[in-house]
Structure 1
Amino acid sequence: MKNAIIAFLAVLTLFSCKTAKLPIETESISLANLKGAWDWKKTTGGFAGVTITPETARYILHLEFKDDELLFFKNNEATRGYHFSLVKDKTIYSADSLYIIKPDNSENEIPLVVTKMVKDTIILADNVNDGFSSTYVKRKN
């Protein structure tokens, strides 16, 4: 009986872990239209399904795309960066290939999937189950 309960709980756990279904809506994605600074608006996801904003986090984030380099900033101070390739490949979000910001020679960085890019808004999602997706708006020059 104990083994049956454990097996039931294991199966229940496996079926309760779902991949988040994100709306896939992209315009033309290229290094040229990624280039520039992007201000963070919100992050959602994770195992608990949280939503974090600059107001709730009490800090600001932004990204800067420079040619093949992606830089991350917190409160206007650089925190990390890496060189990347923009590739179209399979992801956990769609049967169709999507654009992925794939870190070059970095084992510690999770590839970011471009799940939405319309006008001046981009949504980047971790290419892992229970990951996070973040919304950014491009700065006007």
Structure 2
Amino acid sequence: MKKILVLTLIAFLTLNCSGDDDAEISSTILGQWNWIKSTGGIAGITYTPKSTGENRKIIISSDSIKYFTNGDLISKIKYTIELRDVYNEPHELIVPEHLGIIQFFELDKNKLILTDYCNDCFVSEYVKE
């Protein structure tokens, strides 16, 4: 009987802790972000608002990301934050609910850096609005 009680307690604590971590991770990237630049691809191209004539913005809520170009809503995707083992190290990733590119994210003060999880893909930088 004691073993069942201990196992139940451990399971309960484990489930409660994992939910708190997800909320803490997600809240760090919430908000409105203005696009600074994107670099990458096989040719190592750099795109900026000046070179493209586009002002891009993303709005990240607790369960979705809205993508805007020149003030127009282009798309909205549902996502989750997942901790995955990548190259033998744990990384927090933005994982779209349906089709889309999985991305690493990194915060550097008021800058959000999104790195596509694929070879020769892009790194996009945003500044907090």
State the TM-score, normalized to the length of structure 1. 0.71
**Residue 31 of structure 1 aligns with which residue?**
26
**Residue 20 of structure 2 aligns with which residue?**
none
How far did 1:101 drift? 0.4
Q: How many residues align?
A: 106
**Residue 100 of structure 1 aligns with which residue?**
93
Aligned AA for 2:96? P
Choose 1 or 2 for highest CA Rg: 2
Aligned AA for 2:90? S
If each structure's helix is expressed as a fraction of its own residues, which one has the higher value? 2
Tell which has more relative contact order, 1 or 2 (C-alpha 8 A, sep 6+): 1
Partners of 1:58 and 1:118 in 2: how far apart? 26
Matches within 5 A, 1:1-141: 30-91=25-86, 94-104=87-97, 106=98, 108-114=99-105, 116-139=106-129
What is the identity percentage for the equivalent residue pairs of Structure 1 and Structure 2?
A: 27
Aligned AA for 2:111? T
State the TM-score, normalized to the length of structure 2. 0.77
CA contact (8 A) 2:34 2:58 kept: yes
Runs (4+) of structure 1 exceeding 6 A deviation are: none
Aligned AA for 1:112? Q
Q: Secondary structure at the match of 1:86?
A: strand
Gaps of 5+ in 2: 1-23
- CA RMSD across the alignment: 1.3
Partners of 2:91 and 2:57 in 1: how far apart? 23
How far did 1:84 drift? 0.6
